[in-house]
Structure 1
């Protein structure tokens, strides 16, 4: 996981607001998470940080959304050697530590971009949310593409640097640099602190 001191400077000045934000947990499925060494960094940090984000999001009433890639890949994606799910429904399931709860949303994403051919955009509009906290895998694919699409649709993306993971440190760092150009890149601790401060501001 990247060190806080090494994070790229975000161009956007936005502050997280629990009354405007939703949490997206992107592709935390057995197939993808299983590509990392079990019970070792970065997966231990990844899962622990996402659990912390999810718990506070639920406590503050943020919509919690899980995106999940289906087992059958269609179109041009079938021709590209990405780590497609092809080993049955168990691999497609969200990992046990993050199993969706009643009241949370589980959306299939046709491609790595969680907005594409899903009703994520409509869900955010219906909930009155124009900020999206993004965590999960992989940083330079689904996380980055989803953050870019959020920005294109006037939804402020917050990419949590130590709650996303990638094939390599180089690809992880590259994704954060790009995300910082049109969004906010922050740590889990920063995001949690910002949500609590935002709640206190609204209660004042």
Structure 2
């Protein structure tokens, strides 16, 4: 049975293990796998404590980018009330599993499947076992698998290992995973990096995919109102709640949200860098960099 799981800090990408490979995420080759992010599994944590809030924010950032680029998104979800013959040896280790109840089987609403995504019934640790995942990837012409979700040292690790053995390049997104403990989380990253996968971070994946962003429309300049609205959306406040000289980092503009903003502005032709905003994280400073002088 799964125990109650204590809070632990999401591992810092600066401490991730290195791999002997140097694979780079490519939009035209990738599939994003959201592994077992069902309420049943998340509820063994206190979801208000780390690593869960960071996990969900990072998975959402990956989903947003992949959907925007047309990268296939695949979910695994274990069925409820599994037939004992289907569950087989899993019962010996983990009991009878999920009940056939949406409160247990649904994917967390923050990262739930959208029209066009693929949801696979999950039967074994590896997402490839008794599913069409390998065939789907072949049909899509994809040979890279970006893996996020839970639990890092069980299904995520086993899926990465099997992908490797199928000649599919696996990427474990180390800060978009969660596990039973920090030690087991890090153990999964260490094994994967040494034996079968590229261990990467959410920011690295988003950065690798930046060049592939095709904005719907280019713009020669941003208006102050557009800048204010974009920042407010990331902070989940109304534009009127922002003041010109507020420190946006103190208001909650974390590194992932900041990177998403900067990449969006760059893709639309804005002359701004991540370091610019990090050095002077105010609405006034951002507006002065992005907007034509006559509009500021």
TM over 0.5: yes
Are 2:206 and 1:192 aligned?
yes
Q: Deviations over 1:66-100 (max 9, x none)?
A: 00112216111111136932363420111111221
Pairwise CA RMSD of aligned residues? 1.6
Contact 1:8 1:185 in 2 (8 A): yes
User: 3-state DSSP class of the match of 2:156?
Assistant: helix
Contact 2:39 2:106 in 1 (8 A): yes
Equivalent position of 2:242 in the other structure: none
User: 3-state DSSP class of the match of 2:164?
Assistant: helix
User: 3-state DSSP class of the match of 2:28?
Assistant: coil
TM-score (norm 1): 0.93
- 1: distance between equivalents of 2:96 and 2:157? 17
Once the two structures are TM-superposed, the CA of residue 35 in structure 1 deviates from its matched residue by 1.2
Single out whichever of 86-95 and 71-80 deviates more from structure 2. 86-95
Once the two structures are TM-superposed, the CA of residue 179 in structure 1 deviates from its matched residue by 1.0
The structure with more strand, counted as a fraction of residues: 1
Question: CA, structure 1 residues 186+133, in 2 after alignment: closer, same or farther (shift >3 Å)?
Answer: same
Equivalent position of 2:122 in the other structure: 109
Contact 1:11 1:183 in 2 (8 A): no
5+ residue gaps, structure 2: 1-9, 215-296
- 2: distance between equivalents of 1:82 and 1:124? 32
Equivalent position of 1:59 in the other structure: 68
Single out whichever of 7-16 and 145-154 deviates more from structure 2. 7-16
User: 3-state DSSP class of the match of 2:21?
Assistant: coil
5+ residue gaps, structure 1: none
Structure scoring higher RCO (CA < 8 A, sep ≥ 6) equals 1
Consecutive aligned runs of 4 or more in structure 1 exceeding 6 Å deviation = none
- 2: distance between equivalents of 1:28 and 1:177? 22
**Residue number among 108, 127, 141 corresponding to 2:140 in the alignment:** 127
Are 2:63 and 1:50 aligned?
no
Equivalent position of 2:22 in the other structure: 13
Are 2:186 and 1:177 aligned?
no
Task: Give the aligned length.
Answer: 200
- 1: distance between equivalents of 2:151 and 2:95? 11
Q: Deviations over 1:171-194 (max 9, x none)?
A: 000000011122110110011101
Single out whichever of 149-158 and 80-89 deviates more from structure 2. 80-89
Are 2:108 and 1:95 aligned?
yes
